Structure 1
Amino acid sequence: MTTTPTRRLLPLVSTGPHGSRSHKTCQYRCGNACDQPVPNSSGNPEFRDIAAQALARRSVLKAGAGIGALSLAGVAAPAAASSVTVGSLAEAAVAAKVAHGAGTWEFTPVAPNTDDQVIVPEGFKANVVIAWGDPVVKDAPTFDVNNQTPGAAEKQFGYNADYVGVLPHPDKEDRALLVTNHEYTDEPLMFPTGAYDDITIKQVAMASHGMSVVEIKRGRTLGSWKRVKPRDTTLNRRIHTGTKFELDGPAAGHDRLKTKADSTGTVVYGTLNNCAGGLTPWGTVLSGEENFNQYFDTSAPLDTRYLDSYKRYGITGTGTRGWKDVASRFDLAREPHEPFRFGWIVEIDPYDPRSTPRKHTMLGRFKHEGANCTLADNGQVVVYMGDDERGDYIYKFVSAGTFDASGTEQARQKNLELLTAGTLFVGKFTGDGAGDGVHDGSGAWIPLTSDTTSYVEGMSVADVLIDTRLAADKVGPTRMDRPEDVEVNPVNGKVYAALTNNSDRGRKWPADEANPVTSSLVRSEPGGPLVAATGNRNGYVLEISPTGGDHLAETFSWDLMLVCGDPADPVTYFAGYPKQLVSPISCPDNLAFDAVGNLWISTDGAVLGSHDGLFRVPVEGPNRGKVQQFLTVPVGAETCGPFITEDQNSVFIAPQHPGETDDATFEAPSSTWPHTDSFPRPGVVVVYKKK
């Protein structure tokens, strides 16, 4: 929308760990992780020390050879966010997409603002596709905020979508499948005061977690979409805490994955705190379980056998959700193994609503932001992942088997097993110091385990996969500043990682002369004064170039492409592009790519006075580093997604947790977005060009 709706100024930026995020967001999304001790006390090298060398040279990488995205196995893999890179598109197809698509859209960047709307450039439109409480399955009741039940919530669109994926419909060209995560709930914003008893609130909240598959259809205007009525589709599905999942891979069946309710160690109910995700070449969706630790508390002292493991994952037994009062498996005194059954990458098949979703132990257990696939030249699947915690690591998985592109049902069944066997690696980054004007450092992928052999002394294969953080600590990787989305650019084949921030730089984490960002300039409102705040408040975007362009290579070079912040901040860097010509950007979170290869960055927790937003930035050519803001989201929200459809005409985002400010209640909300009710309803938005 391009109107000027209600405005609301942000609170003054805190110099504490939360930045512009409300304490309420920190409590409900991650259990106040920033207020807890840093789980990684390994003493491994920190990226802050290595990145200092990058800031000293600020070299500009040479352009790489272009490769495109290809439709695979009859499923047109969306080039924007699937990171499926195999072969090249025909020149005519590339030209058609480049000519009219998101990569070449001309727009005037959106100015910093605090409007309670999704604000897009002139000439574009933003429509809500689906929101919390909308029906998903056929027998879903009409949403009534005063009469919610667990059974109703299990059939309606869940709360706080994060990952957004759009897959081709199996039969109809004018339809598609929208797949989202539902990361977490904020009960004070969801329930009228006094309308529900405590147990019902917890049960409805549990049902509002998970994932949704929703059939959508094209609207009248090119790029627009709307949801299909549940009665008119057989593909819609809601996944929630009562949905059966299968554990697979080498750790499945291990004693630490067994509980009183599951003596096999292979059956788990539900998926928790799902953050980002990705698409596979065989047409399924991967989703990352992130801050699962906050859902567990205890009625008695913790099991002493697991104290080291619990500590490394932030499991304290003091979770504030209170779910143990509803389901005993969330009581660590009763089920000390239940936390080991979360923290995985899950895979769902959106084309088969009756299929059993799986949790892949081969991809390791940590606070997964997401998982994004690419294909090596020989067909092996490579998956990149970030562990979203201060001081944790970036990972890579390489499958043992190869992708079968024949498109047969037999081939698809084979492909569905590709993430159950292979090798898991963790990244180590080293400063180059060569000053050669090309790269700012080198790195190596350190093997942790294959499906048959552990490479970590004193730990079995299952030990490495269940306690991946502890295993990685032993091999000396590099501690990063909250690695979130890690994706492959389908045009140049390079890997890009969003390192969101670390407010403890210069505070709890020692600073030194080589530290690149120990103090950042922040604003409390658009146009307000820049003031100094301790720590890396604005984050980085890291560019990784696999040796020889081969994703199987165990070495790489890296470049600190963006040092985010206000252009007036001397520490900021935009790949060498003139700083006075870029939009301010703070706290990169999730990434996507268009058909041209431009990087699209969504933000979470911006501390520059404006609401969070979505930005487009070229990664090659004369405009490399030219950051332009494409949209902003409502009061209290972060920008989730993003996803650009394969035809390049639609940009999907999910404004998550609108109105989640510290002073907000259901009766006195700070946002009512999307303005259909007197309270906020987080949902999914599509942005497209007007006629």
Structure 2
Amino acid sequence: MSVQRRPVFPEFDPDEVSSNLSANRPFHEVAAARFSRRSVLASGAVAAAAGFLTGSTGTAQATPGPAPAEPTGRRPTLGFTPVPTSDADGITLPAGYEAQVIIPWGTPIRPGGPAWRKDASNSAADQAEQVGMNHDGMHFFPLGKGAEGSRRGMLVLNHEYIDQQLLFPDGDAEMTREKVAKALAAHGVSIVEIVRTDDRGWQVADSPRARRVTTDTPVTFSGPVGPRHPALRADGPPRGTINNCSHGVTPWGTYLACEENFNAYFGTERAGWEPTPEQARYGIDHEGFGYRWHEADPRFDIAVNPHEANRFGWVVEIDPMDPDAVPVKRTALGRIKHEGCVTTEARGRIVAYTGDDQDGDYLYKFVGEGTWRDQRARGRSPLDHGTLYVARFEDDGKGRWLPLTHGTGPLTRAGGWADQADVLLRTREAADALGATPMDRPEWIAVNPANQDVYCSLTNGSGRGGAANPRTPNPYGHIIRWRESRGDNTATTFTWDIFLLAGDPAYDERTDLSEDTRFGSPDGLWFDPDGRLWILTDVSNSSQNLPEKGYDRIGNNQMLAADPHTGEIRRFLTGPRGCEITGVITTPDQRTLFVNVQHPGEATPAWGEPTPGNPRAVSNWPDFDPEGRPRSATLAIRRTDGGVIGA
């Protein structure tokens, strides 16, 4: 068989390649018109961004609500000593903290299940009963109330993608049906019950709720794009979820797995095949990311089975408490490369924010129809009924949510849009038509529990020309925030500002971060119940540790904590070589912090490339077995004095 490009990511990050050919005005030009240097990070602390907090820019604007009060005499929310940057192959934590490694890739989801084999010789059937590869978004669902709910619960986590050099004993030199089956089983979602004891810490418990949702699990569709829609008619019934990046949870206790780079897995060797404009807008081409599954499984041959790709790019609702519940793809939330789907409530309605993680794509918001409790009382899903919007940012610090509703503006039959299902199947093109604002890879979104302000990480971007984002190109990324009008998250207007500009001042004077705060490529964001904003980074391995990329003083990927009131930032954790830090949640008592370490040991120019003969070339974390291989895993972090994390 022919050997095509396999997914060795150091050459580039596919998310950094835009497929948006619209003429919509990109965010960097909007930001450049809006801000001066005083609007971003200064002296190692987040400045009160002009206008958003103080109205000091002199720009006329309608402020939607009162600014959050500055702290007066309260104790700091950050109570740990920051750790230095690191390029070591291990975990660094502040003094007084300790970490336990739990559920690494290959762990049986129930005690007694197929044991992990360090030579990667587990079968596809084994992998379907084991924790998947490359842990990402994650949530802890407590089992019980009070103290019991903080020592026992269901841990649900996504598995974004796989590294075929590490997944198979002989790498990917030849692609077979069994290899594809194992790869499908290593994707998806793991649902495991964990329990903490004083003597053993956190352990996997035997549980009837434990299960894997893989790329072969039966699924269904709900909302405007129903399961019988012609665009979903592919070979065989709908199966599985794939490239699950971040996530969300609903007020009614379900988990939202989000499908991101689904285009990665499709390809073809059919001579003369070319993608349709719709397929090209979603990045589908001959090779995908080089997995070559189409060589062994026609399900992923885009020329043979073109509608299979339409079954992905959705938000998938999973009930972690019912092992028999069929996962449902909620099509009213649109078909994009969903990074995550963060929910909040406003006036009793469900509001869901999601970013489309590719350079030059957009931010979205879904607002439910009526209260979610009423919808559920009527036997309807709150995620099936409502309005999907896309964001447009203006120069004056204002913004609008544009409805992606058939019959509105250009989204008419005369404009080439058949119905609402067509709008949702082609969400990116619909957003193009409305004039949404292209962004620098919008990733995780977090809602501040104190005031409902919304934060979004923009990991990095090409800048797409123009002045800046507020710089171009934008190799370090930044974090924006906005406040919905009147503090109502269902509103269709907002005001916005830049919360933080990442980077290293040694390479970019617009970034004024200290040694204890410098970082690049913000990705994961999460507010804990006390209002600390946790920031997780995903510096691409094509840049990590490299001076020519301006990342040698930033070190390995890391996690930081920020106080949105004071602007204080401290580095809390650094990870092993080649990894990304992602996925974060605490137990209800905030005494255990779960954090995911994804793809340690992945190929990087700074350290090398794993091979079947030497899978440990970059990292040997967390096992450090001389005959093993690196494994994604979850950290269970606790204070040695048993206190609240971060306080």
Q: Say yes or no: TM over 0.5.
A: yes
Structure 1 pair 23–538 and aligned structure 2 pair: CA distance change class (3 A): farther
Structure 1 pair 194–615 and aligned structure 2 pair: CA distance change class (3 A): closer
Q: Which moved more, 1:392-401 or 1:455-464?
A: 455-464
Q: Normalized against structure 1, the TM-score is what? A: 0.79
**What is the correspondence of 1:106-505 to structure 2 with a 5 Å cutoff?**
106-137=79-110, 140-146=113-119, 147-169=121-143, 173=149, 174-193=151-170, 198-199=175-176, 200-220=178-198, 226-229=202-205, 232-252=206-226, 253-262=228-237, 268-300=238-270, 307-319=276-288, 320-377=290-347, 379-404=348-373, 417-432=381-396, 441-449=397-405, 456-457=411-412, 458=415, 459=417, 460-502=419-461, 504-505=462-463
- The Cα of 1:234 is off from its aligned counterpart by 1.1
Tell me if structure 1 keeps the 8 A contact 2:97–2:638.
Answer: yes
Structure 1 pair 33–375 and aligned structure 2 pair: CA distance change class (3 A): closer
User: For residue 619 of structure 1, what is the aligned residue in structure 2?
Assistant: 564
Which amino acid is the alignment partner of residue 176 of structure 1?
A: G
Structure 1 pair 357–425 and aligned structure 2 pair: CA distance change class (3 A): same
CA RMSD of aligned residues (A): 2.7
CA distance in 1, matches of 2:208, 2:52: 46
Tell me if structure 2 keeps the 8 A contact 1:492–1:597.
Answer: no
Which amino acid is the alignment partner of residue 255 of structure 1?
A: P
Tell me if structure 2 keeps the 8 A contact 1:216–1:225.
Answer: no
Q: Does 1:541 align with 2:541?
A: no
Tell me if structure 2 keeps the 8 A contact 1:110–1:121.
Answer: yes
- Classify the secondary structure of the residue corresponding to 2:365: strand
Tell me if structure 2 keeps the 8 A contact 1:567–1:582.
Answer: no
Q: Deviations over 1:21-55 (max 9, x none)?
A: x982368x97x344x5x210101011111111343
CA distance in 1, matches of 2:85, 2:523: 18
Which amino acid is the alignment partner of residue 99 of structure 2?
A: A
Q: Which moved more, 1:663-672 or 1:465-474?
A: 663-672
CA distance in 1, matches of 2:296, 2:517: 47
- Classify the secondary structure of the residue corresponding to 1:449: coil
Tell me if structure 2 keeps the 8 A contact 1:603–1:638.
Answer: yes
Match 1:557 to one of 483, 488, 495: 495
User: For residue 529 of structure 2, what is the aligned residue in structure 1?
Assistant: 595
Which amino acid is the alignment partner of residue 389 of structure 2?
A: F
User: For residue 12 of structure 1, what is the aligned residue in structure 2?
Assistant: none
CA distance in 1, matches of 2:459, 2:379: 33
Q: Normalized against structure 2, the TM-score is what? A: 0.84
Structure 1 pair 225–425 and aligned structure 2 pair: CA distance change class (3 A): farther
Which amino acid is the alignment partner of residue 337 of structure 1?
A: H
User: For residue 46 of structure 1, what is the aligned residue in structure 2?
Assistant: 26
- The Cα of 1:242 is off from its aligned counterpart by 1.3
Unaligned runs of 5+ in 1: 1-21, 65-97, 263-267, 406-410, 433-440, 519-534
- The Cα of 1:106 is off from its aligned counterpart by 1.8
- The Cα of 1:207 is off from its aligned counterpart by 1.1
CA distance in 2, matches of 1:672, 1:326: 31
Tell me if structure 1 keeps the 8 A contact 2:579–2:602.
Answer: yes
Identity, in percent, stands at: 39
Tell me if structure 1 keeps the 8 A contact 2:83–2:93.
Answer: yes
User: For residue 25 of structure 1, what is the aligned residue in structure 2?
Assistant: 9
- The Cα of 1:278 is off from its aligned counterpart by 1.1
- Classify the secondary structure of the residue corresponding to 1:470: helix
CA distance in 2, matches of 1:349, 1:340: 23
Q: Does 1:517 align with 2:471?
A: yes
- The Cα of 1:490 is off from its aligned counterpart by 1.3
- Classify the secondary structure of the residue corresponding to 1:136: coil
Which amino acid is the alignment partner of residue 327 of structure 1?
A: D
Structure 1 pair 613–443 and aligned structure 2 pair: CA distance change class (3 A): same
Unaligned runs of 5+ in 2: 1-5, 40-47, 54-73, 545-550, 642-647
CA distance in 2, matches of 1:359, 1:684: 26
CA distance in 2, matches of 1:476, 1:290: 22
